[in-house]
Structure 1
């Protein structure tokens, strides 16, 4: 099983104790329990670095091979445009579109997210539900 991280859990896993939000304890505990490496995309890394105010810990995780970003945005550009157009009413962001594409490319995967509303709506390959790991 491959686990693909969305921004929320990634930020929660790296947040300092004083910056905690409702999902930080869930994300920190979950991330420690999943098999490495964990996968994501550059769009999620960019969002996470912004929210964390520093990419240092993310870069360290990448350098150690704990976190892997191997999504080819150029190759998926047409599919990304299709997804963003399809979910225009939900205002699908670029990172979410990349994660849906990744789930189409990696058959045996689960997306780890706190974004329940959007990811319960999104479908891969047209009508197939995306396996998700969500907080209770």
Structure 2
């Protein structure tokens, strides 16, 4: 699974996490997967960087990044998580927690250590994460 931060860093060479994101994603054998909300968030951050945004679209078209649709089926769970983590969880974070509940063995690539070290899935376990060093 992948959060917006590593995707933005992967596509923007000037990002401070670019080297970590690029190398981490490069060595993965399986396609990345994420939610619609994370792609929207990534697109928002890349909107001023047309080549990077174009490359994001190409990665989606090629299947290197796969979208796992959560809506409308998991909207209530996303809302519950936002309620459980007031002032911390946004829609994107909540969607990734739900995705982790659906794919509990998957590891999330994220730079958001502050929040994902706090979040818990419905089973009480932390979302397995890989953070930059």
TM-score normalised by length of structure 1: 0.90
Query: 2:25: which partner in 1?
Result: 31
RMSD of equivalent CA atoms: 1.2
Could you tell which deviates more after superposition, 54-63 or 93-102? Answer: 54-63
Check 1:65–1:93 CA distance in 2 against 1; reply closer, same or farther (3 A cut): same
Selected match of 2:4 from 7, 29, 54: 7
Q: Mark the CA change 1:46 to 1:89 in structure 2 (over 3 Å): closer, same or farther.
A: closer
Task: Tell whether 2:55 aligns with 1:57.
Answer: yes
Gaps of at least 5 residues in structure 1 are none
**Residue 126 of structure 1, CA deviation:** 4.7
The total of aligned residue pairs comes to: 129
Q: For 1:65 and 1:126, how far apart are their aligned partners in 2?
A: 30
Tell me which residue corresponds to 1:113.
110
* 8 Å Cα contact 2:6-2:111 kept in structure 1: yes
Match of 1:70 in 2: 68
- Whichever structure has more strand as a proportion of its residues is 1
Which structure 2 segments of 5+ residues have no match?
none
Q: Is 1:83 the equivalent of 2:77?
A: no
Q: Give the equivalent residue in structure 1 for 2:39.
A: 45
